[in-house]
Amino acid sequence: MAEEKIGYSEDDIKSLDWKEHIRLRPGMYIGKLGDGSAYDDGIYILLKEIMDNSIDEFVMGAGKTIDITISDHKVSVRDYGRGIPLGKVIDCVSKINTGGKYDSKAFQKSVGLNGVGTKAVNALSANFTVQSYRDGRTKFAEFSKGIIVKDEAEKETSQRNGTAINFVPDEYIFRNFKFIPEFVENMIWNYVYLNSGLTINFNGKKYFSERGLYDLLVKNTDAETIRYPIIHLKGHDIEVALTHDNHYGEEYYSFVNGQHTTQGGTHQAAFREALVKTVREYYKKEFDATDIRASVVAAISIKVQEPVFESQTKTKLGSLNIGPDGPTVRTFINDFLKKELDDYLHKHPDAADGLLKRIMQSERERKDIAGIKKLANERAKKASLHNRKLRDCKVHFDDDSKKDDEQKFRTTLFITEGDSASGSITKSREVATQAVFSLKGKPLNCYGLTKKIVYENEEFNLLQHALNIEDGLEGLRYNNIVIATDADVDGMHIRMLLMTFFLQFFPDVVKNGHLYILQTPLFRVRNKKETIYCYSDEERKNAIEKLGNKPEITRFKGLGEISPDEFSLFIGEDMRLDPVILKDSHIKNVLEYYMGKNTQERQEFIISNLRVEKDLEEALTVA
């Protein structure tokens, strides 16, 4: 057999224009794509890129209001800033590295300096329009997938100055996507917290903040459970708010130049370190760092000149210095906290007393579980060698540092119950990035219990170790944690028990968007030519109407009834996930309602949902 030669000539060298490159490698510009079921999916990055430009106008003192509308798949953003100079409207949205922030000192502490964001939105949208209103005149242009399709001449207008951008993400790239309002609302709240005096109107609702990060902590804590009033500190290019709650773990909201750094970075690490150092010096006692930070809820925002992020999506700060001639991020934050927090504690003895009591309580709890924790860790190591509760994925079989970010984004752990269900998922999963954890029966209702139970209960202890979340999210092994249970009453109960486990002991898993519920089809409707899987009664009716002639209808009551071949259709690229989102209600209230003592309101809720299940059964019988 002749040896095959690998060609490499001038013909193999290609030059792509800007839009072709963005569409070919969208992950380089907006991170992962997704379908909108995660807060950091691409469609939200598109919105953020447009919003960042409007925010910069507000920071420059031009326009105090931004209007956002999302209807179906169309997004509209209208600001009332200065408006893009009319002669440069098309260039600013379609020529890479074109913008107005390169030479202006006023924009040195802006996030979007590379002139890519808006162009990426344009290239990744099936339809994109831009209209600038400036000093009584306006300019409009329309694009499709980055290609200009309409270029209107300038004309007069009576509209206020500003810029209006509309876009529809391209469904070819963002498959089966949907905007989840809660994720958009969280983004908007962060914008107004970081820009006091800014008003954002989203689908008719007004968002506004007067006290910045103080308001952020008010929204995300329970006044009844915080140990001392929220401490709010502000300085030049830095703002901090913090308190301690009764929850487990540490909770941080960190920002750089208005960008929510969901993965932290040098500033968040510096804050954690400075908090420990300042507290130790104030109380003149070498407390354990974990006791000081246990149950902390804190927000920090800093401004950095020409920030360096670890990805285009700007979720983790990599900068070591505040600016070319400034101090290190670590020194800057440490000096600020050392002075301002120390002064605050001296002036507010009640807060100092509340903080001290929380630290001492954490110390007692840590020592109380030290012995059982050691035994539980040894038991978990032994169990991992001798049982098959966890079928891991290849990302973790090999050296994790060699895996690319895209693979790590896709790592998923399915938590399921029963041998047949876990067996089907195990056989049909993508071995590279998908793992399976098999529960033995229903988990314990851990509402109101202490963290000691996590180490005493074998299921919880092994799950905790599989996820590697004992000491926080920094070591989280799977980006997506998916609860996969039967679509019946028992399955719903297991979901609630697992969600209670995470909310009670590891709330950051939920708050940081890592927990999901797997949607699997309720029905299979088929004839000799076609099979349709239906996730709702409405889809079932539509399938029956489409196939006609009395098709065969199967109601899946359990995951074990779905064959591995079929399961591969439901946990692949088109996998449907419902994110577990904690809305305005606080964790304590949510758990008390669903997992606490029975109340009339709760009984009515249960009866109502049982009725839904019964209606589905009756509908199938009629069909």
pLDDT of residue 446: 87
pLDDT in tens, 522-576: 889 999 889 998 888 888 999 999 998 889 998 887 787 788 888 888 888 778 8
Which strands sit side by side in the sheet containing 231-235, from one edge to the other? 231-235, 238-244, 296-302, 251-256, 259-260
Domain 387-520+557-597 coded CATH 3.40.50.670: yes
Q: Which residues contact 262 (CB under 8 A, 6 or more apart)?
A: 39, 40, 315, 316, 512
Please check whether residue 395 is in contact with residue 387, taking contact to mean a CB–CB distance below 8 angstroms.
no
Q: Which CA distances in Å does 416 have to 224, 257, 511, 606?
A: 35, 41, 22, 23
pLDDT of residue 114: 44
Residue 518: beta bridge partners? 577
Residue 18 main-chain phi, psi, to 5 deg? -60, -45
The three-class DSSP label of residue 437 is strand
pLDDT of residue 156: 96
Residue extents of the structural domains in the chain = 18-205, 213-365, 387-520+557-597
Measured torsion, CA atoms of residues 287, 290, 295, 301, in degrees rounded to the nearest 10? 100
517: left (phi over 0), alpha (psi -120 to 50) or beta: beta
Residue type, 228: Y
Distance (Å, whole) CA 355 – CA 358: 5
pLDDT of residue 399: 52
Select the CATH number that applies to the domain covering 213-365 from these four: 3.30.360.10, 3.20.20.70, 3.30.230.10, 1.25.40.10: 3.30.230.10
**Structure token digits, residue 361:** 């309580």
**pTM flag (> 0.75):** yes
The CA-based diameter of the chain, rounded to the nearest angstrom, is: 86
What CATH number belongs to 18-205?
3.30.565.10
What residues of the chain score a pLDDT lower than 70? 1-16, 97-115, 311-313, 383-388, 397-406, 583-594, 596-603, 605-623
Distance (Å, whole) CA 276 – CA 333: 12
Q: Which CA distances in Å does 56 have to 196, 203, 473, 568?
A: 13, 22, 32, 45
- CB atoms under 10 Å from CB of 334, counted, come to 19
pLDDT of residue 362: 93
